[in-house]
Amino acid sequence: MATVSEADKAGRNHLPGDGNMWVFVLGDLVIFGGYFIIFMIYRHQERDLFLESQQHLSLTVGVVNTLVLLASSWFVATSVQATRAGQYQRAIRLTVIGGGCGLVFLAIKAYEWTSKIGQGYTFPSNDFFMFYYLLTGVHLFHVALGLLFLGVTFAELRSPKLRRVSMVETGATYWHMVDLLWIVIFALLYVMR
């Protein structure tokens, strides 16, 4: 309903969204954590190769992609707040713009992959590019799944009979995880040396 939600009153003890989603998110974080640690072990063994290969990635494309995802997270987080305040039309608009940013991310990634493949840097080129395609590829799948969840949020907000805050929170939680994982990928693949 269009009142201040339980969330705001509950203070420090509110689980945003569905508990099962959090189990899923924490599991995903552990799995990705494993990928990142394995990446670091390979990097440690082939440091010069990784540094040399990393130079062929466009830091500008990485930065733009990060900014696009951060903006999308702002839209989605604000949409949750709008839902709590009962501003459903605004929440719908924010969710759509947040999802639109996700599509922009996918388009930029497609451009980046195409340009790397065009330059001859493919999956079997070396271990760095193997990890590049693996990590960004698995992440891309999560972006697509996140867009699906935002679609569910959109449907939820559109139907006056539904509009459950916890459903909107659940979609947002997953979407922010996609952002979170990208922050780690960006630091490890693009920036550290």
Partner 1 sequence: MSVRLPQAARSTTVVWAVLSAITVVSWWLGPAHHSGPPAPSTAITVAVLALGLFKARLIIRHFMEVRTAPLWLRVSTDVWLVALWGGVLGIYLY
| Contact criterion met (CB below 8 Å) for 75 and 167 | no
- Distance of alpha carbon 88 from alpha carbon 96, whole angstroms: 12
Q: Which stretch binds partner 1 (CB under 8 A): 39-47, 103-111, 123-131, 140-148?
A: 39-47
**Residue window 48-77: x/- pattern of binding to partner 1, with contact defined by CB under 8 A:** x--xx-xx--xxx-xx--xx--xx-xx-xx
16 is a contact residue toward partner 1 (CB under 8 A):
yes
- Taking the least distance from each CB to partner 1, the nearer of 112 and 179 is 179
Binder among 103, 144, 162, 187 for partner 1 (CB under 8 A) = 187
Give the side-chain half-sphere CA count within 13 A for 120.
1
What are the angstrom distances between the C-alpha of 140 and each of 12, 20, 29, 82, 84? 33, 22, 15, 28, 30
104 is a contact residue toward partner 1 (CB under 8 A):
no
Structure letter (DSSP) for residue 190: I
Burial of 163 (0-12, 13-18, 19+ CB in 10 A): middle
To which residue do tokens 């992609």 refer? 65
138 is a contact residue toward partner 1 (CB under 8 A):
no
Binding interface with partner 1 (CB under 8 A) = 7-8, 10-16, 22, 26, 29-30, 33, 36-37, 40-41, 43-44, 47-48, 51-52, 54-55, 58-60, 62-63, 66-67, 70-71, 73-74, 76-78, 80-82, 85, 87, 90, 169, 172-173, 176-177, 179-180, 183-184, 186-188, 190-193
